Structure 1
């Protein structure tokens, strides 16, 4: 994941962002390794964002959320992860983005296209952070967390989720879209102000396991191809599909980790939001059960 130098024990895809007390959530560097969570499990990756994507117009993704370190600086400089509006009062993100952080250190903005444009989107404070209980116990495949907002975001359609326990939306070869403000250059760090998107192919569990021995097909999914991938700064953001005749988008993944960015034979790994095991085990903690009730799951 992409955390501060103090957390530099495992890889993720987090961008640089200073936090109120002076701690850093993200890492923008030129080394091949990236910062990580308290329970290391995955190989490092170079410091970059959406690779091979294109800029998108204002309002293209109203459900998209940016996680910001609270402060007075430019939001572009304070953004460190992505997320998505799951319910009017809940933003879904990656656990490695927020594990160990306090709600008062963060804020989120939903529906903003250009990070520095403060007149875009809905800014919300965070009142609670719920990390998946298995991730909290060191099982990094369960890389999902929920931000409870101080007030709901109205007038914006949240993402849809696949039916728990199905895999119809992650058929190998199917195309999905990943969005974010992550690094766009595999050589020189370049974090864009305007959101970008890239279409990536879903990769089979067998291929993913070959690339990542710790890959868990029950709660993970892989996507990407050489030249097209998510990267640093994209952590926590959505991978989704649009279905013919259906309104809105279906989020199938949360940007989690990967070996390098857009490298051959190293697709990105995502938390699969259609995993029955992911949602069933969320209820192993009191906070998780609260979130499940809130989401009607």
Structure 2
């Protein structure tokens, strides 16, 4: 098997120069602001301006390296519940940031005019997440919001694809994000970008990536269209369902190789189990707080009477 860093036109998913991210790797992660794609003049790469009303599940995942820094867009994400967003696991790596340094912005086509900004309660990467030069597996992360979103025309959830056996080969699917929009250099748009591309066969995708372990992944490719840096974690939507979450692709975002997505249907059990477990815990904590509050009020009332 050829290692990714034996190839010169691809970058790995990572944190310093991913999607295209790690500058030392060939397969790129669309994640860092130094190597990804999206723009206002050149569109996602060769995509179009998008309206958030057509993609209300799309959010911007934003980070700050230290508490003194400003938050900046680093990845895309998809709303799957009022209190939950799904994105790529590699969007918080090298080094892993604390939850207070991550937030989600939603509700506008323009990054500069986001209407809703919510900090995280916590984040949960898949426990068997792997991201190396030779293997990418379970590249998913769930973001639990500190308070629920208010759904409307510009903020809403997307249904998850549940058909793990469906063959999407040849189907036209859409990807969206605020990543780099040029194949050489950097051009990051304020306006959300969108592009449609067909699904390619799994075997072709593996061969294109030198046999890179791509279990439970799904790939898109068409000509000079592509996703790019800072598009990582964003939605791949087919037939109005969230089918994939962007992991990475070729360094120059020129469509010479397929872009790669974690297939959501392969991880439904983990997604549902994580959300249900944390939601139940939150409800239990709320009940306990309410009971303690009632006890305290009764005690105070009793003392006042005395």
Instruction: Determine which of 4, 11, 14 is the counterpart of 2:16.
Output: 4
Find the aligned partners of 2:51 and 2:188 in 1 and give their Cα distance.
17
Q: Which consecutive residues of structure 1, in runs of 5 or more, have no partner in the other structure?
A: 17-27, 30-46, 243-248
Q: Is the 2:177–2:234 Cα contact (8 Å) retained in structure 1?
A: yes
Find the aligned partners of 2:265 and 2:171 in 1 and give their Cα distance.
15
Q: 1:294 to 1:174 in 2, by over 3 A?
A: farther
**SS of residue in 2 equivalent to 1:182:** coil
> Cα deviation per residue 1:152-206 (whole Å; 9 max; x = unaligned)?
11224311111152325xx211100000001111022100000000001101011
Find the aligned partners of 1:80 and 1:133 in 2 and give their Cα distance.
22
| Aligned-pair Cα RMSD in Å | 2.8
What residue number does 1:15 align with? 32
What residue number does 2:214 align with? 216
What residue number does 1:110 align with? 106
5 Å matches for 1:183-262?
Answer: 183-212=180-209, 213-217=211-215, 219-242=216-239, 249-262=240-253
Instruction: Determine which of 260, 263, 272 is the counterpart of 1:272.
Output: 263
Instruction: Determine which of 36, 39, 56 is the counterpart of 1:62.
Output: 56
What residue number does 1:177 align with? 174
Q: Is the 1:111–1:121 Cα contact (8 Å) retained in structure 2?
A: yes
Q: 1:198 to 1:131 in 2, by over 3 A?
A: same
Task: Tell me how many residue pairs correspond in the alignment.
Answer: 248
Q: 1:126 to 1:175 in 2, by over 3 A?
A: same
Q: TM-score, normalised by structure 1?
A: 0.75
Q: 1:69 to 1:264 in 2, by over 3 A?
A: closer
**SS of residue in 2 equivalent to 1:172:** coil
Q: Is the 2:243–2:265 Cα contact (8 Å) retained in structure 1?
A: yes
1:294 deviates by: 5.7
Find the aligned partners of 1:167 and 1:261 in 2 and give their Cα distance.
31
Q: Which consecutive residues of structure 2, in runs of 5 or more, have no partner in the other structure?
A: 1-12, 39-43, 281-306
Please identify which structure carries the higher helix content.
Answer: 2
Q: 1:63 to 1:221 in 2, by over 3 A?
A: same
**SS of residue in 2 equivalent to 1:209:** helix
Find the aligned partners of 2:273 and 2:130 in 1 and give their Cα distance.
15
Q: TM-score, normalised by structure 2?
A: 0.73
Q: 1:216 to 1:5 in 2, by over 3 A?
A: closer
Find the aligned partners of 2:217 and 2:84 in 1 and give their Cα distance.
22
Find the aligned partners of 2:31 and 2:110 in 1 and give their Cα distance.
18
